[in-house]
A and B are shown apart, each in its own frame.
Chain A
Amino acid sequence: MRRILAIIAAVTLGALAWIQVEPSAPNEPGLGFSVPIDPGGAIGDQSVWYCPWVESGAVRDSTYDIGAAVDVEASITLPNPNPTLEPDTLAFVLRGPDARSVDTAELARRGPTPGIVEFDDGPAVVSNTMWTDELLTGDRCVVSVPKVWHLVGGITAEGFTLELRLFNPFPEAAKVTVQAVSEFGSSPLAGFEGLDVPGRSWITEDLSRVIPFLDNVTLTVKADTGLVIPALVLNNGTDEASWIGISQSATWDFPVTSVPGLEPTLVLSNTGNLPANVTIDVFATDGAMLEVTSLLVSPQQPVRLHLSDFATPPFGVRVRSNRPIGAVIQAGPPGTFPRSELGDRPDEDLTADVAPGGDDGDVTESGDDGVPDTYIGLASTTGNTDPATRWLLTGIGVVPAADTSIWLMNPSGDQATVTLIPLGATAAGPDKIIVAPGTIVEVPFAEVSETGLTGLIVDATVPISTGLSIAGSRGVAFIGGIPVE
C-alpha cells in the first residue's frame, strides 16, 4: 500500500512539475532603442550637428551659421586630418533666441574643414555657407547619423565634377560601402566596398573619374562598421552645389526651387524593390496646382523632372509617393541639366488643378523696383519631410554682395499667419506676414552688415515649410529650413 501511495505522490508531484509553463521571455529592447531621429530636425535638448563639406582656405571662405531658440553653450570642433594634432575648437554662449555666424577661418584655414557643433541645450541649429569670387554654395547640417544614407542628384556628365565627401567625426574608424545607380541602372563602383574612413577624419572621392558620363546618379552609402556623414559636391565650372545625404521619405516639401535665371529640376530616386507612384504638387505665388504630374519611379532608376514644364517659376513643390523615395531640387541656367525620359505615367492627364483662394497671398517684392534680378549659378537642396509650425533659419545675409530670401510654403488649405522673429545683433522686431493656402511667399533680406540679422525663428499658425536662397554674382545656393520641435 505504501508503495502505491509513494508512486501516486511522486507521479502527482511530477505531473504538477511537468505542466508548469516556462516563464515568458523578456521583451525585446524597448522603443527607445529603435526610433531613428530625423537627421534634419532640431530637438529640444542637447544636440550635436555634423557639417561634412565645408572648406576654408586661401580662396574659399565659409561660415558656420548657428541659431538657437534658448540659451545654449555651443562648441565648434574641426577635427584635424593629422591624428597627432588636437582639433581646432571654439566654444561660446548664445543667449537665445539668438543667431551667430562664425567665420571658419577664425578656427582654421586649411582647406576642407568639416566640423561638429555641439549644443548643451536646444532647440539649436547649424547651416553652412561657402563662397569664393566665382562660386557660392550652402546647406544645412545634420543632427543624427543613420547607417544608410541616400545621395540623390549626382551628375558626372561632361562639364561636371562630382565629389563624394565621407566625414567620420567619431573616434571609431568606419568601413562603408558605396553603391551607385544611374539612368543606366546599377553602376559598379570599383574600390568602394569596405571603404575605410579613419576616425575623426574624412575622405573625398572624385566620382567623375570613377563613373564618368552619367546624367543622374544616386548613391547609397552604407556603414558596415562605424558611422559616416556623406555629402555630394557638384561643380559645373561656373558654380558649385553641396548637399548632404538624406533618408527616404514618402513626402518631400521644397519651398525654394529656383531664382530668376535658373531652371528648376526635381530628381527622384527609388532605391526600394517596387516602383513608387509619385505625384507632384506645385505651389506658386498665386495658388496651388495639385497633381501637376504623376509618375512611376522604377527601382534603381533615378528620374529628373524639369519643373518649368509644369509651371512658371517661382514656385514650391510637394512630392508625394506611395513608397519612401529620395528627392532633391537642383537649379541651373537653362540647358544645364540633361533631359531624360520621364518615368511611366499612370495618369496621362497632366491638367493641373488650381486650388481656390490662390490669389489671396501677400507677396513681398524681391527687388526695390519689383523686377527680379537674373542670376547664373548652380544650386541644390534637400527637402523637408514634414511641414511644421516652427522653423529656425540661419545664414541670412552672411554672404557678401548676395541677395538672400526666405521662402515660405503653405501647402495646407488654411491661411497661415507667419511671425518672423529676427535673430542676431539686430534691433528689428518681429514681423508678421500672411501666407495664403497653397501658395509660397518670398521674403528678401539685406546683408548682415546692414541689418545685423543672421537668423530667423519662423512661427506659423498652420504647418508650413521654409527654405532659404542666396543668390549673387558668385552663384546661387539653396538651404533647407530646419524644423523645431
Chain B
Amino acid sequence: MTAILVHDTAGLAGTLDAIRRQVYGSEQIIVVGGDSDARRFAGSEEVEWVPAVSGAVDRIGTSHLWFVRSGVQPRADALAALVATATDLDASVAGSKILDLDNPDRLLSVGFATDVFGTPYSGLDEDELDQGQYDVVRDVAAVAGDSMFVRRDLARGIGGPDRLMPQLAAAVDFCQRARLRGARIIVVPSSEVLAPDPGRRSEQWLERASRIRGMLKVYGPLTVAWSVPAAFLSGLTQAAMSLLLGRWLFFSWLRAWGWNLLRLPDTVRERRKARRGREVGDEELFRYQVSGSLALKVTASQLADQVRQRLPGEDTTSMEMIGRELRRPSFVVGIGAVLFILLAGRSLWAVGLPAVGYSLPFPDSGLAGLDAYAGGWNPAGFGGAEPLQPLIALTAIVRLAVLDSGRLAEYVAITGSALLGVWGTVRLLRGWGVTAVAGTMAGVVYVAGSAAQGLAAETAIGAMIALGMVPWVMRLSLARWPATSLGRVGRVAAVGLTTGIVAVASPSLVLVALLALVVWALVNVNDGVAWRAVAVGGAGVGLALPLLFPWVGAADLNAFLTDGALYSSTSIVVAAAVVVALVTVVASAPVRLARVAGWAGVLAAGGALGARSSAFGAGSEIGHAGLALAALGLAGVTGAAFESITRVETAGWRRIAGGVGVVAAAVLVAASSVVLIGGRAGIPADRFREAFAFTQARPGDPAESRILVLGGPGDLPGDERIIQGATYRVVAAPMPELWEANLDGLHLADRELDDVLETIIAGETSRAGEALAPFGIRWIVIMQSDEDASYATAWSDRLTGQLDIVSLSAGLANETYENESAGAVRAVTSGATAWARVGVGYEGTSETGQLTVRENAHQRWGPEPWQQGGVWNEVSASTGVSGFKPIDGRRYQAYAAAFWAIVLVGFAWAGRRFG
C-alpha cells in the first residue's frame, strides 16, 4: 500500500505515475489530505482519498505503508529496495536517499542526525554530488519525509506525521516518536527518490515552533525541564546573532513560542499519545543526536563566512585595498579604541564585576532576577516588598541573553556599554562635522574620562551601563527627520526605546540626553532641527517612563533622588585641561565646532555642578546624572579640539590656539588611560569577594546563613545602616548580589537587630552570638578601612570580649568571627532542619511541621498556612520550597512594561524598515 501525502497538488500526477511504475507494485494507493483539488484528482485517477493518515492506516490490510510526499518521483526500484532492506534488517522505519529532481546527481538527504532541539543535520555539503559515498545502510535519527517506509502496526500506534508541522519537522517528529516505541530507523541509499529542492530557506518560525512541539511531545520530564529553557535561550541568542547577518529573527522566535503556548493543551494530548507504550528512554534518542545547538552553529558559521568574505582574496588588488583600509587613521584609532575598552575591562572578563561598594555580582539567576523585579521579594537586608530597581530586570535580561552566565553578563553589560558609548559618540559628533578620528578620541574620553571614572569610582553600575546609550538617544533625536509618518513614528519610538534603556539602567539619567539637547538648542537657538530634536527627546522621555513600571509606581522617588551625597572631585590638571581646551576651541575653531565646544563646556560645567550638588539637597543619584552630563561635555570638548586642528580654515593664530587646545584635549585622553589600571573599567578593586570567600570553606551550606558586616561609612556593600556613627548591614552568604545593594527603611527585623547591636555596643551582653543567631547571622566581618581604622577598632573592641563568637581572622584580610550559637540560619523547620536560600526563596527537606523564614514578616510568604512569628514568617514546610507570592499589581505592571518595550521595538523596526 502506498499513501501519498499531499502538500501541493502540482506534482501529484507525476508522483502517482512514478509509484505506478514501481517494480514492486503497491497493493493500494491512497491520496491523503489536500484540498478539494486533491480529492477530485484522486477520483479522476481512480485512487482512494482520505483526509488523514489515520484513515489510510485503518483502510489497509498490508504489513507496511509507504509514505510518499506529493511532488517527488521515486525511481522504479525505490520501493523494492525499501521492502527488501527493511525486511532483512527488521527496521520499522526506512527512508530513501533523496536526490535533486532538477539535478539528479545532487544529494539532498541520506538520513539525518539531529541536535537535542530537533534541528535536523544532513551532514552534506551544499551541492554535494552523489558518487555513492553514502551508499551504505545506516541507522539514523530521522529520514526525510519525502519517502518513508513504515510498519503498519507502528503507524497505527503512533499515528502518522503531525499535521500541524511542516514536512521536515514532521518527519523528525515522526521518527522520534517511532524510536520511543523501540523502532529501528534506517536509511536505504539504494532506494532513490527525486524531490524538488526545498531551497535554502531562511529560518522559518513554523519549523522552529514544530521543533519545540516535538521536544515537548517526546522527551521525558527531566529532559524537558532543561532542554526547553535551553531552546528558549538558544533561539534568543540566535536571534541576537542574526542581527549581525542583517536578519531579524526576533519575531520569528517570539512567534514560535507564542504558537506553542497557544497549542499547549493539544501538545500535552499528543505527548500522552507519543509517550504511552514507550519502550526506550530519552537516552536512546540522544544516541543519534549531535552535541550543542545546530542552529547556533550554523549562524556562527555564517557569521564567520561573512567575516571571511571581507578579508582579502588572493589577488593583489584586494590586498592593496585592505592595506589601505588598515592604514586609514580612523581604522587605526577605531581598533585602538576597541582594544582600549577590551583592555580596560579585562579583569571583568576574568572574574566579573569587582565586589566593592554598589558593584556586586548580578543575581545568580536571570529568571529569579526577573521574578523578583516583577512584584517579587526584595532580598536586601532582611527583605521587604519594596520594588527592586529596574537595573535588576535589565541585568537579568542580559544574563538570560548570555545563557545565564553571570560573569559574561557583567562583562557584556559594562564593556558592551562602553563600546556602544564610543560608537554612539562617534555617530553623534559626526552629525556635527567631527570626523571619525576626533570622534573616537571623544568617545574614549566619554566612557573613560574623568567624569566616567567618577561614576566608576562611585560603583554606579547602572549609570555606567546607561552611559553607553545616552549618545544614541541624542543621535536618534537629531538625525534626519523621516519623510513618512511611519518613519517618524518609528523614530520617536526608537528614541523612546533608547531613552527607556537609559532609564531602566539608571532612572536618574533619564533626562540627561534631553538636557543635553536643550543646551544644544540654546546654543543653536535659530536651528529648527535642534528644537525639533528637543521635542523628539522629550517625547522619548515620555515613552520611556512606562518602562520603569512597576518600580516607578511604588518607589519613594524623593528618597531615591535625595539619599546619599556625592561630591565628585577631579584633579587640577584635568580641570585646567578642560578649561584650556574649551577656551581655545571656542575662540579659534570654525563656527560649527565652536558651538559644539560651547555646548560641551556648558554640559561639563553644569554636570560638575550636579556632581557636587549635595549642598542643595541632591542625592548621589542626581550626582550620577551630573557626572553623565559632564562626561558628554568632556567628550564634546575633546572631539571639537581634535577636529578643529584638522580644518584648513584654522590658520594663523587660530592654528596656534587650536594646537594648544589639542594638547589640552590630549591630556584628557591620556587621563582616560587610568582605567587601564586593574582592568576593571575604573571600578575600585574588589573588597568583598576576598572578605566573604571564607564562608565557602566553612562546614555546611553558606547559603543557609547571613553575614553581618560592620565598619565605618563607605566600607560596606551597598547601602549601610548607621549606629552610633558606625555602620552595619546584613548580606547573604556566601556573597551578596546586586539586588541586595539598596536597602529600604527599617522593618521589624531591622529594628530588632538595631536593638541587639545597641546592646552589644553598650557591653550589656557577652553572648553576642546567641543574640545574633535568630537573625540567621553566622558570620561577622569587620571591614578594615585604610583611611580610618577607628570604626574597625571600635567594633573589634566590642566583639573581642564575647563568649560565643570565635575569631576566624587568621589569614584573612578583615577581622572575622563565626557565631558558635546553634540555629544561626535564615530558614529553619520546626524539626530544626535548615533550608538554604535559592534565588529569593528557600529550599530544603520537606517536613510536616512549620518553617520559620527569617525574612521580614509579610503575609505573601508561603506556602500556606502563613502566620507571623515575632518579626519572621512561619509557613508550611510540607513542600520543600518556600517563596514569596508576587504582588499581582506589580507583576501586571511589569508585563505591561515588557509589552510596551516590545511595542516600541516593533514601531522602531517598522519605521526603519518601511518608513
Instruction: Give the B-binding residues of A (Cβ under 8 A).
Output: 2-3, 5-7, 9-14, 16-17, 20-23, 26-34, 37, 43, 45-48, 116, 118, 144-145, 147, 169-173, 199, 226-227
Contacts and interface: CB of A to CB of B under 8 A. Distances in A.
Given A3-B587, A144-B763, A171-B804, A20 B790 contact: no
A361 to B, nearest CB: 39
Nearest to B578: A14
Contacts of B595: 2, 6
27 contacts: A5-B598, A6-B595, A6-B598, A9-B598, A9-B601, A9-B605, A10-B604, A13-B605, A14-B605, A17-B611, A20-B612, A27-B725, A28-B791, A29-B712, A30-B724, A33-B724, A33-B725, A33-B794, A33-B798, A45-B764, A116-B803, A144-B763, A147-B797, A171-B804, A171-B807, A172-B807, A199-B806
Please list the 9 inter-chain residue pairs (A to B) with the smallest Cβ-Cβ separation, ordered nearest first.
A6-B598, A30-B724, A10-B601, A13-B605, A14-B605, A48-B766, A17-B608, A20-B612, A17-B609
Interface of B: 523, 565, 567, 569, 579, 582-583, 586-587, 594-595, 597-599, 601-602, 604-606, 608-609, 611-615, 712-713, 722, 724-726, 758, 761-767, 790-791, 794, 797-798, 800-807, 820
A21 B569 CA distance: 11
Nearest to A172: B807
B758 A32 contact: yes
Contact of B800 (A3, A16, A21, A226): A226
A170 B800 contact: yes
A10 B794 contact: no
A33, A34, A170, A227, most chain B CB atoms within 10 A: A33
Contacts of B798: 33
B725 A26 contact: yes
A292 to B, nearest CB: 38
Nearest to B760: A32
Contacts of A37: 763
A16 B758 contact: no
Contacts of A23: 565, 567, 614-615
A46 B586 contact: no
Contacts of A32: 724, 758, 761-762
B580 to A, nearest CB: 12
Given A21-B615, A30-B724, A33-B724, A118 B766 contact: yes
Given A17-B605, A26-B713, 14 more contacts: A2-B523, A3-B587, A12-B605, A13-B606, A14-B608, A17-B608, A20-B614, A26-B712, A29-B726, A32-B758, A43-B764, A48-B766, A171-B805, A173-B807
Contacts of A47: 764, 766
Given A26-B713, A33-B798, A118-B766, A171 B820 contact: yes
Contacts of A31: 724
A458 B516 CA distance: 78
**Majority DSSP secondary structure for residues of A touching B:** loop
A2 B764 contact: no
Contacts of A3: 586-587, 594, 598
Given A10-B582, A33-B726, A46 B803 contact: no
Nearest to B579: A14
A145 B579 contact: no
Contact of A7 (B586, B614, B761, B803): B586
B157 to A, nearest CB: 68
Given A6-B586, A7-B586, A171-B805, A29 B766 contact: no
Given A11-B605, A28-B725, A20 B613 contact: yes
Contact of B612 (A11, A17, A26, A169): A17
A21, A22, A147, A199, most chain B CB atoms within 10 A: A22
Contacts of A226: 800, 807
A172 B608 CA distance: 50
Nearest to A9: B602
Given A29-B726, A32-B724, A170 B608 contact: no
A29 B713 CA distance: 10
Contact of B801 (A7, A20, A170): A170
B605 A22 contact: no
Given A17-B612, A33-B724, A172 B804 contact: no
Contacts of B609: 13-14, 16-17, 20
Contacts of A48: 766-767, 803
A29 B791 contact: yes
B797 to A, nearest CB: 7
B673 to A, nearest CB: 24
A11, A22, A48, A171, most chain B CB atoms within 10 A: A171
Contacts of B820: 171
A285 to B, nearest CB: 39
Contact of B802 (A11, A13, A147, A170): A170
A351 B890 CA distance: 88
Contacts of B762: 32
A20 B626 CA distance: 14
Contacts of B614: 20, 23
Nearest to A223: B800
A118 B801 CA distance: 13
A43 B763 CA distance: 10
B599 A6 contact: yes
A226 B726 CA distance: 22
B725 A29 contact: yes
A256 B803 CA distance: 34
B725 A30 contact: yes
B911 to A, nearest CB: 34
Contact of B797 (A11, A33, A173): A33
B602 A29 contact: no
A48 B770 CA distance: 14
A102 B764 CA distance: 25
Contacts of B587: 3
A29 B794 contact: yes
Contacts of A169: 803
B725 A10 contact: no
B713, B802, B803, most chain A CB atoms within 10 A: B803
A268 to B, nearest CB: 29
Contacts of B579: 14
B602 A227 contact: no
B748 to A, nearest CB: 23
A272 to B, nearest CB: 22
B613 A145 contact: no
Contacts of A28: 725, 790-791
Nearest to B758: A32
Contacts of A227: 800-801
B804 A33 contact: no
Nearest to A171: B806
Nearest to B723: A30
A315 B608 CA distance: 75
Contacts of A6: 523, 586, 594-595, 597-599, 601-602
A145 B803 CA distance: 12
B582 A7 contact: yes
Contacts of B806: 171-172, 199
Contacts of A145: 801
Nearest to A22: B567
B758 to A, nearest CB: 7
A5 to B, nearest CB: 8
A355 B712 CA distance: 55
A300 to B, nearest CB: 27
A118 B767 contact: yes
A10 B600 CA distance: 9
Given A26-B725, A170-B802, A172-B807, A46 B605 contact: no
A247 to B, nearest CB: 15
Nearest to A173: B807
B14 to A, nearest CB: 78
A477 B765 CA distance: 31
Given A10-B582, A145-B801, A20 B807 contact: no
Contacts of A33: 724-726, 761, 794, 797-798
Contacts of B605: 9-14, 16-17
